[in-house]
Structure 1
Amino acid sequence: MKQLKSLWIHLTWLSIDVVLGAIAGLLFFFKLFRVNLDPNIFLLLGLAVWAIYTADHLLDARNAKELITSRHKFHQKFQSVLLIALGLVVAFGLVYAYLVLGWSREFYLSLIFGATIFLTMVSLRKAGRLAGILKEISTSIFYVLGVAWIPLLRADSLDITWQSLTLLLFYILLAFLNLLMLSFLDRKEDQVQGFVSAASIVEPDKLILGIRRLSFLIIFGSFASFILFSSFYRPYACLILMMTFMHFFSFFNPKLSAHTKRIRTEASFFLPFLLLAL
């Protein structure tokens, strides 16, 4: 059991949990927009998410005033190896994307989208404290749009309905909720290391109130969607509702440690894998 726990911790340091959550989200949007599953896109998304998060952690480890988290110490210790791996993954990903997509609308629009994410990340880092909550807002939007990118591009116009776009919005709000919760849980470590987040500019009591209100908004919205939308959309509304409940009851459980809360909220993004049973 200890070995499995240690393995999982190291996998989270390598952002494998985030990759799996993104792949589950891709499954969610492939099915929501009624697009045929493409294994190549799952692989490309996994590579892209790993590259983005690894680059972000490497930059954090390099720019931190003082390293106190195990994740950042890990990235500093193995910086050279991870940089080589990152370069190989990016190079392979670009070549593989070209082989899969060709010089198509999907390929060049994806390059533009990726460049937009990169420039936004750089701009927010240079903005310092002024970035504030914009970091969480932009990350949640780019994360979910990145996951839903190919399904949206490939979907028939008839399948991009106001119901499906509403569920896409709730997924973005859920990702934003997750980042606000993580910001609160990591606020002391971020302060010591000199990182900027929502918790660094919003008072703890106000941040908790915002988290609670946003949770209720998503719960109410996804439950209303489950009741009012046609039967096709109900499994997706139900999944978002379940994921939000996992966030809410984990975060507001005083008996759980910050580490356990983080694991449970991140694990909620694996729930879309249940769609494989449909």
Structure 2
Amino acid sequence: MMFLKGSIVSIAKLISFLALDVFISLIANLSFFSSYLNEKIRPTLFLFYLSSVWALYLADHLWDAFREKEPLSERSAFYLRHRFVLVTFLTFSSIISLIIGFMYELDFLRSHYHVFLSFLLFLVFVVTKLSPIPKEILVSGYYTYGIFLPFSSFCENDRMIWIFFLHVFSNVLLTYNKDREFDKSQKTFTLIQWISPKKVNYLVFALLGVGFGFLLWTSIFQNLPWEFLWGMGFTYLWLAFCGLQNRNGFEFKSLCELSYFPMFFPQIIFFFSLLL
């Protein structure tokens, strides 16, 4: 029994440290909105997203590991200990992203070049500590907008975009709240530095309450199909459960990241409907 428990913990750590939980969440997000907007995402664009986001997260974790001072976190120690393998993964993922991007998705990159350029610009600002906008807002905004970029039918006035953004923003606040000391030591411009840990939790629950209210309103007055209500609704409830936890470290971050898992619900319903 102890061996089984130890194996599960080791696998969970590996999933978290290699950002595979982010990988799963990204697939859930794209899957959900592909069903919601009734628009399929091209396989090459799907692979471009997966490889790009994975490379970005691996690079971010490596950068944090090299900057972190003693005593190191478990993740940073893991990255420094296995840096050769991780750099290999990062290089491979980056090459795949570049090949797919320039060979198969050049039109997509050209159409949204302003988004990618602004993202790179703000990335430089964050790294050089010159960003005029808090990191939480940048991460939440670009992630939300990036999820919708592949879908030509999305409307910026669609309430579901804002419902999703409020969840992403709440998720970022919860996880960054655990990293406040590291961000403070690195002099990163964040909202967290101006708010106490307890008030961050209050803010998160307020945002989740507003988002959940919008979701119910959309379901009642705009006839949102029940599978999307359940998918997004349980995503909100999962993150609210995370906000009640006192955990730290990789367990808490993975728990928050995997709050997007219920967004697979519409695809699961569609799959089983084909069997009936």
When normalised by structure 1's length, the TM-score is 0.84
Name the residue aligned to 1:137. 137
Residue 115 of structure 1 aligns to a residue whose secondary structure is helix
Q: Does 1:235 align with 2:239?
A: no
| One-letter amino acid of the counterpart of residue 198, structure 2 | D
| One-letter amino acid of the counterpart of residue 127, structure 2 | R
Q: Quick check: 2:201–2:243 contact (8 Å CA) kept in 1? A: no
Aligned ranges 1:264-275 → 2 under 5 Å: 264-275=255-266
Aligned ranges 1:239-254 → 2 under 5 Å: 239-253=231-245
User: Residue 27 of structure 1: CA displacement?
Assistant: 0.9
Aligned ranges 1:1-278 → 2 under 5 Å: 1=4, 2-66=6-70, 68-101=72-105, 103-104=106-107, 106-127=108-129, 134-151=134-151, 154-155=152-153, 160=155, 162=157, 165-188=158-181, 190-191=183-184, 197-232=190-225, 234-253=226-245, 256-259=246-249, 260-277=251-268, 278=270
Task: Give, in whole Å, the separation in 2 of the partners of 1:95 and 1:86.
Answer: 14
| Higher fraction of helix | 1
Task: Give, in whole Å, the separation in 1 of the partners of 2:100 and 2:171.
Answer: 31
Structure 1 segments of 4+ aligned residues over 6 angstroms from their partners:
none
Q: Quick check: 1:174–1:218 contact (8 Å CA) kept in 2? A: yes
Percent of pairs with identical residues:
21
More moved, 141-150 vs 13-22:
141-150
Give the direction of change, closer, same or farther, for the CA distance of 1:170–1:231 in structure 2 (3 Å limit): closer
User: Residue 10 of structure 1: CA displacement?
Assistant: 1.1
Unaligned segments of structure 1, at least 5 residues = none
| One-letter amino acid of the counterpart of residue 261, structure 2 | F
Task: Give, in whole Å, the separation in 2 of the partners of 1:246 and 1:57.
Answer: 25
Unaligned segments of structure 2, at least 5 residues = 271-276
User: Residue 261 of structure 1: CA displacement?
Assistant: 3.7
When normalised by structure 2's length, the TM-score is 0.84
Q: Quick check: 1:184–1:199 contact (8 Å CA) kept in 2? A: yes
Residue 110 of structure 2 aligns to a residue whose secondary structure is helix
